[in-house]
Amino acid sequence: MRRRAVELGWFAFAVANLLAMIRWERWETIPFHFIWVSLTLVYGFRIWRPSSTALTLAFVIVSTGVLILIDATRGTQEWGELFEVPLMSAMFLAMVWHARRRQDALGIAEQHSARLES
């Protein structure tokens, strides 16, 4: 449980922001961006398995996308706000790519260092 405290904290933060998106429809852009930016930051420090990453990304895409779609249908948000979902997804995936490349590079450097020491 302690190993996942950051992820559980982020999930609670995301749910609170989803509730804020429901409660304050006209202001949903703020909690929407809190969710996406915090997800990207957390992933930058804590790289997850690909399956966990995909599941988390799907959860955020669907939950935020559906709430914006509902509000656009009701007329409380512009339809163009839906474009934010794939744009923020792309930002997150750029972080995934960057973090994974860094992790791979560190692994190669460690292997090279171990060979030099032996």
Residue extents of the structural domains in the chain: 2-117
Is the predicted pLDDT of residue 1 greater than 70, yes or no?
A: no
Q: What is the CA radius of gyration of the chain?
A: 18
The neighbour count for residue 55, using CB atoms within 10 Å, is 12
The neighbour count for residue 108, using CB atoms within 10 Å, is 10
Backbone conformation region of residue 35, classed left if phi is above 0, alpha if psi is from -120 to 50, else beta: alpha
- Whether the CB-CB separation of 89 and 61 falls below 8 Å is answered with yes
Determine if the pTM surpasses 0.85: yes
pLDDT for 63-113, tens place per residue?
999 999 999 999 999 999 999 999 999 999 999 999 999 988 988 999 898
Report for 2-6, 16-20, 95-99: range of highest mean pLDDT: 16-20
